[in-house]
Amino acid sequence: EAGVAQSPRYKIIEKRQSVAFWCNPISGHATLYWYQQILGQGPKLLIQFQNNGVVDDSQLPKDRFSAERLKGVDSTLKIQPAKLEDSAVYLCASSLGSGGLYNEQFFGPGTRLTVL
């Protein structure tokens, strides 16, 4: 079974530029998550999709970040304009669902973003 795919793996941009990340979840997984992980910290949920609807985007800086999951499969996360503090690893994860006691999240390899 193929895992969660993400691209690009690395990205270096200058502040005020824009950047986009792509994620393809495990086939059949209804729930997709975007996390931001700053070095030395735990993952911070940016946005959670259930199929193509948004479940939680309370921690998404909506003035600069946007995300979409068209057709309920793959997803893109965009930052425009980027700030220095956006330097982090952006992790995409997917799970079969999000309800109940147990829902294992499977993570992609992440995109390491450096903003200069």
Partner 1 sequence: QKEVEQNSGPLSVPEGAIASLNCTYSDRGSQSFFWYRQYSGKSPELIMFIYSNGDKEDGRFTAQLNKASQYVSLLIRDSQPSDSATYLCAVKDYQLIWGAGTKLIIKP
CB of 106: closest distance to partner 1 in angstroms? 8
Q: Does 2 bind partner 1 (CB under 8 A)?
A: no
The Cα-based distances of 58 to 15, 45, 64 in angstroms read 24, 9, 14
- Buried b / exposed e over 22-43, threshold 16 CB at 10 Å, is ebbbbeebebbbbbbbeeeeeb
Site string for partner 1, 52-71 (x = CB under 8 A): ----x---------------
CB of 81: closest distance to partner 1 in angstroms? 27
Q: Does 110 bind partner 1 (CB under 8 A)?
A: yes
Retrieve residue 40's tokens. Answer: 């030395």
* Contacting positions for partner 1 (CB under 8 A): 40-45, 48, 56, 91, 98, 101-105, 107-110
